[in-house]
């Protein structure tokens, strides 16, 4: 990828915007068959018993567009015995959460998202999670994550209990040496990729 340089005359927010554009363009070029096999690999890691154990609570996400993963990943996690929470966008504040109750329990939400139809548990539901799978466009060696730029996850993750694993999910090529960062960015504790599995930062 043509990586946007770190021009000191540009703000971090502007540099982030340039990274997002490149990363999204790169993702759109990934053939469907590659996406499909990468999604299977992610599911295999998540149900290996080394990342999540049956009975644990996982905040996951329903992948949209070219994001890594699949709706099947949620089914696989549930079948494995994990309790799966999904994010619900309610405005500009932190995300709300609802239980994943099967593929028929999703309805269309904003930005082309699919969201759970059940009861909303409130933003603090995140505190019962053992692990949060965080959608990301890229992550760096220090755990800095680049998201879509709406700030939903940064606002939500500030509330997680200490000890909660924060796992960015990206493609193997989306781990970089150093990404632009701002003070509100919440560091990930690990990254999960299809081919390398789980890499811990701390
Ligand atoms: N799957 C998923 N769920 C998520 C997020 C995410 O990044 N991915 N979010 C992370 O904060 C929150 C929602 N925020 C979002 C903010 C912007 C866009 C967005 O720009 N969507 C594109 C279309 C996406 C595509 O097709 O690739 C758009 O509306 O043009 C999506 C989600 C909560 N749920
Ligand atoms: N904890 C916070 N409190 C208030 N505003 C915040 C907070 N975190 C992020 N923001 C605001 O949200 C906007 C987007 O932030 P940023 O570019 O870091 O998003 P992102 O992490 O890439 O996206 P997302 O979290 O939605 O996936 C910024 O304008 C930022 O000021």
Per the rule left: phi > 0, alpha: psi between -120 and 50, beta: everything else, 111 is left
CA 12 – ligand 2 centroid, Å: 12
Which ligand places an atom closest to the C-alpha of 151?
A: 2
Which ligand minimizes its atom distance to the CA of 148?
A: 2
pLDDT tens column, 73-91 = 999 999 999 999 999 999 8
- Give me the domains of the chain, ranges plus CATH numbers: 10-200 (3.40.50.10420)
ipTM: 0.91
Provide the pLDDT confidence category of residue 92 given band limits of 50, 70 and 90. confident
| pLDDT higher than 90, residue 6 | no
Within the chain, residue ranges assigned H as helices are: 12-28, 32-46, 71-80, 152-157
Binding residues for substrate: 62, 67
Query: Does 186 score more than 90 pLDDT?
Result: yes
Residue 86 sits at φ, ψ, to 5 deg, of -125, 145
The yes-or-no verdict on residue 138 having pLDDT over 80 is yes
* Token pair 């309610």: residue: 90
How many Å lie between the centroid of ligand 2 and the Cα of residue 166? 16
- pLDDT bracket for residue 4 (50, 70, 90): confident
Q: For 12-51, how does the pLDDT look when each residue is reduced to its tens digit (9 = 90+)?
A: 899 999 999 999 999 999 999 999 999 999 999 999 999 9
Q: Ligand 2 — pocket residues by CB below 6 A?
A: 16, 146-155, 158, 182, 184-185
C-alpha of residue 148 to centroid of ligand 1, in Å: 6
- Does pLDDT of 2 surpass 60? no
Q: Residue 5 pLDDT more than 70?
A: no
């Amino acid at each position: 990828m043509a990586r946007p340089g770190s021009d000191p005359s540009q703000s971090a927010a502007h540099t982030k915007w340039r990274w997002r554009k490149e990363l999204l363009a790169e993702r759109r070029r990934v053939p469907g068959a590659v996406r499909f096999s990468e999604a299977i690999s992610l599911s295999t890691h998540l149900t290996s018993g080394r990342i999540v154990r049956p009975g644990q609570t996982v905040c996951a996400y329903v992948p949209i567009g070219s994001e890594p993963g699949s709706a099947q990943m949620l089914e696989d996690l549930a079948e494995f015995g994990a309790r799966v929470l999904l994010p619900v966008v309610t405005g500009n504040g932190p995300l709300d959460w609802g239980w994943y109750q099967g593929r028929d329990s999703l309805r269309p939400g904003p930005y082309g998202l699919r969201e759970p139809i059940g009861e909303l548990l409130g933003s603090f539901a995140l505190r019962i999670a053992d692990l949060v799978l965080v959608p990301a466009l890229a992550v760096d060696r220090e755990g800095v994550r680049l998201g879509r730029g709406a700030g939903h996850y940064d606002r939500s993750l500030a509330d997680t209990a200490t000890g909660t694993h924060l796992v960015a999910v990206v493609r193997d090529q989306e781990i970089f040496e150093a990404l632009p960062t701002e003070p509100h960015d919440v560091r990930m504790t690990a990254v999960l990729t299809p081919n390398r599995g789980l890499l811990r930062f701390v």
